[in-house]
Chain A
Amino acid sequence: MPRSSRSDSRRLVWDKARTRELFAHYRAHQDEESRDELITMYLNLVKYLASRFRNRGEPIDDLVQVGTIGLIKAIDRFDTTRAVEFTTYATPTIIGELKRYFRDKGWAIKVPRRLQELSFRVNQAVDRLTQELQRSPTILEIARYLDVSAEEVLEAMETSEAYNFVSLEGDRTSDGPDSFSILEYIGHDDQLMAVIEDRATLAEALKGLTAQEQRVLYLRFFQGLTQTEIASQLEISQMQVSRLLRRTLRVLRDGIVAREV
Chain B
Amino acid sequence: MAADRVTLTVPNRSDFAKTVRIAAAELASRVGMSYDDVNDVRMAAEEAFVYASLRVAPAAAVTFVFDIDRTGLTITVGPLEPAADEGRDTDLGARYATFILESVCDEVSVLSSEEVCSLMLVKRTAGVEA
Where the two chains meet, the residues of A that have a C-beta atom closer than 8 Å to any C-beta of B are 1-3, 7-8, 10-12, 45, 48-49, 52, 87-88, 91-92, 95, 99, 126, 135-140, 142, 150-151, 153-154, 157-158, 161, 163-166, 168, 180, 182-183, 185-188
Give the residues in chain A near B9, CB-CB below 8 Å.
Answer: none
Taken together as a complex, chains A and B put the C-alpha atoms of A208 and B26 apart, in Å, by 39
Give the residues in chain A near B103, CB-CB below 8 Å.
Answer: 91-92, 95
Q: Is the interface of B mostly helix, strand, loop or mixed?
A: helix
Are A186's CB and B53's CB within 8 A?
yes
Are B95's CB and A165's CB within 8 A?
no
Are A95's CB and B104's CB within 8 A?
yes
Chain B residue with minimal CB distance to A11? B90
Are A95's CB and B100's CB within 8 A?
yes
Give the residues in chain A near B14, CB-CB below 8 Å.
Answer: 165-166, 168, 183, 186-188
Taken together as a complex, chains A and B put the C-alpha atoms of A99 and B46 apart, in Å, by 15
Taken together as a complex, chains A and B put the C-alpha atoms of A137 and B36 apart, in Å, by 8
Taken together as a complex, chains A and B put the C-alpha atoms of A4 and B25 apart, in Å, by 31
Taken together as a complex, chains A and B put the C-alpha atoms of A2 and B81 apart, in Å, by 12
Are B50's CB and A165's CB within 8 A?
yes
Q: A140-B29, A168-B50, A183-B93 are in contact. List 8 more A-B contacts (CB 8 A).
A: A88-B102, A95-B104, A136-B36, A140-B32, A158-B18, A163-B39, A182-B54, A183-B53
Are A138's CB and B58's CB within 8 A?
no
Give the residues in chain B near A10, CB-CB below 8 Å.
Answer: 92
Are B95's CB and A12's CB within 8 A?
yes
Q: B37-77: contact bitstring with A at CB < 8 Å (1 yes, 0 no)?
A: 11100110010011001111110000000000000000000
Are B58's CB and A2's CB within 8 A?
yes
Give the residues in chain B near A52, CB-CB below 8 Å.
Answer: 100
Q: Is B33 engaged at the interface, CB distance under 8 Å to the other chain? A: yes
Chain B residue with minimal CB distance to A99? B39
- Closest-CB distance, B57 to chain A (whole angstroms): 5
- Closest-CB distance, A122 to chain B (whole angstroms): 8
Are A7's CB and B92's CB within 8 A?
yes
Are B42's CB and A163's CB within 8 A?
yes
Are A2's CB and B42's CB within 8 A?
no
Are B35's CB and A165's CB within 8 A?
no
Give the residues in chain B near A92, CB-CB below 8 Å.
Answer: 103-104
Give the residues in chain B near A150, CB-CB below 8 Å.
Answer: 29
Given the contacts A138-B35, A154-B26, A88 and B99 also touching, CB distance less than 8 Å? yes
Taken together as a complex, chains A and B put the C-alpha atoms of A185 and B96 apart, in Å, by 18
Cβ contacts A to B, 8 pairs, < 8 Å: A2-B58, A52-B100, A136-B37, A138-B29, A158-B22, A163-B39, A183-B53, A183-B54
Are B92's CB and A138's CB within 8 A?
no
